[in-house]
């Protein structure tokens, strides 16, 4: 409405006085300055200054009406122009301040969002690091427990080996720890029943193996080359079974002990001599290797 009123003022002034005399350039500039100010943000942001410019322009228009060629008209028009320009300048400053305020607010909100995001990322990273460290510690504890158990098992095996070395021939090969007992100590010729002295010997073996009951044991029976292959194989299996049964009877876990007849295969001495045949008639108790970790 104020813009329309200003246009009416300018139009009316031009209509009534434009033909009578030449409008001073100062008054023309004042009218244009007021129009520019009233069409901009000054009406909302600098209304008081815009009103002063309107009043100053009205005085210049009246002076022009009273005396078109007077110097007073030019002076009043100049004042009106400056007041209009002042109103426009104040409005522009207010716009810039408002824009800066919005920009600062947007910046602060953006920085706050970035900080919150970074904080969340840091918290997640710290949580992941803590979980990783817990996992590492748990794994280290597990490995430590496994290593401790393995060292304990190796210690027990070493103790058993020392004890068995006092009882029989003991060696280590790809099968494990091998305890060799002469067949003449365990069985009568061509029989698979343990002799009384053999039981005493096996009692000592079971005692030495008492600390390794978590290990698998294979009892292997052997014969010399006298007799048929089938007879020797069957005899060696019965002898291996007899020793296995005694070990289980004395407390070694049944699920950990197996028996296998080998017969006359794998001789350790010459079957052409009586001494060699005696060495070949044997039972080997194999304490298998620890499983690899």
Give me the residue spans of the domains in the chain.
2-102, 166-288
Question: DSSP string of 32-73?
Answer: HHHHHHHHTTHHHH-HHHHHHHHHHHHHHHHHHHH-TT-HHH
- Determine the average pLDDT of the residues in 225-232: 95
State yes or no: pLDDT of 181 exceeds 90: yes
- Determine the average pLDDT of the residues in 152-161: 73
φ, ψ of residue 85 to 5 degrees: the values are -65, -35
105-151 per-position pLDDT tens digit? 888 888 888 778 878 887 887 888 788 888 888 877 776 787 776 78
Left, alpha or beta for 261 (phi > 0: left; psi -120 to 50: alpha)? beta
The rounded percent of the chain whose pLDDT value lies above 70 is: 90
Q: What pLDDT is stored for residue 141 in this prediction?
A: 76
Q: What pLDDT is stored for residue 293 in this prediction?
A: 61
CB neighbourhood size of 249 (10 A): 12
Work out the pLDDT band at 15, boundaries 50, 70, 90: very low
Q: Residue written as tokens 């002295």?
A: 197
β-bridge mates for residue 171, sequence order? 178
Q: Record the pTM.
A: 0.49
Work out the pLDDT band at 292, boundaries 50, 70, 90: low
Q: 166 vs 77, which has greater pLDDT?
A: 77
Domain 166-288 has CATH 3.30.1330.60: yes
Q: Distance of alpha carbon 276 from its chain centroid, rounded?
A: 66
- DSSP helix/strand/coil, 269: coil
Q: For residues 140 and 130, what is the distance between their CA atoms, to the nearest angstrom?
A: 15
């Amino acid at each position: 409405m104020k813009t329309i009123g200003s246009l009416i003022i300018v139009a009316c002034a031009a209509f009534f006085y434009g033909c009578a005399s030449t409008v001073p350039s100062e008054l023309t500039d004042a009218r244009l300055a007021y129009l520019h100010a009233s069409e901009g943000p000054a009406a909302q942001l600098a209304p008081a200054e815009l009103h002063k410019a309107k009043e100053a322009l009205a005085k210049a228009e009246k002076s022009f009406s009273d005396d078109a060629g007077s110097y007073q008209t030019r002076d009043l028009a100049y004042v009106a122009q400056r007041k209009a320009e002042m109103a426009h300048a104040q409005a522009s400053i207010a716009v810039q301040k408002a824009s800066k305020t919005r920009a600062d607010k947007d910046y602060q909100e953006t920085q706050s969002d970035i900080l919150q995001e970074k904080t969340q990322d840091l918290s997640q990273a710290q949580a992941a690091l803590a979980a990783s460290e817990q996992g590492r510690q748990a794994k280290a504890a597990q490995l430590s427990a496994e290593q401790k158990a393995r060292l304990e098992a190796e210690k027990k095996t070493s103790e058993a080996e020392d004890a068995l070395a006092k009882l029989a021939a003991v060696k280590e090969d790809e099968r494990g720890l091998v305890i060799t007992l002469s067949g003449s100590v365990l069985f009568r010729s061509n029989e698979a029943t343990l002799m009384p002295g053999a039981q005493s010997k096996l009692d000592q073996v079971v005692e030495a193996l008492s600390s390794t009951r978590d290990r698998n044991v294979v009892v292997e029976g052997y014969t010399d080359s006298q007799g048929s292959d089938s007879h020797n194989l069957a005899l060696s299996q019965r002898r291996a079974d007899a020793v296995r049964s005694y070990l289980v009877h004395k407390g070694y876990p049944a699920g950990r002990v197996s028996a296998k007849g080998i017969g006359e295969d794998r001789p350790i001495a010459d079957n052409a001599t009586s001494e060699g045949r005696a060495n070949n008639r044997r039972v080997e108790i194999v304490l298998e290797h620890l499983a690899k970790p």
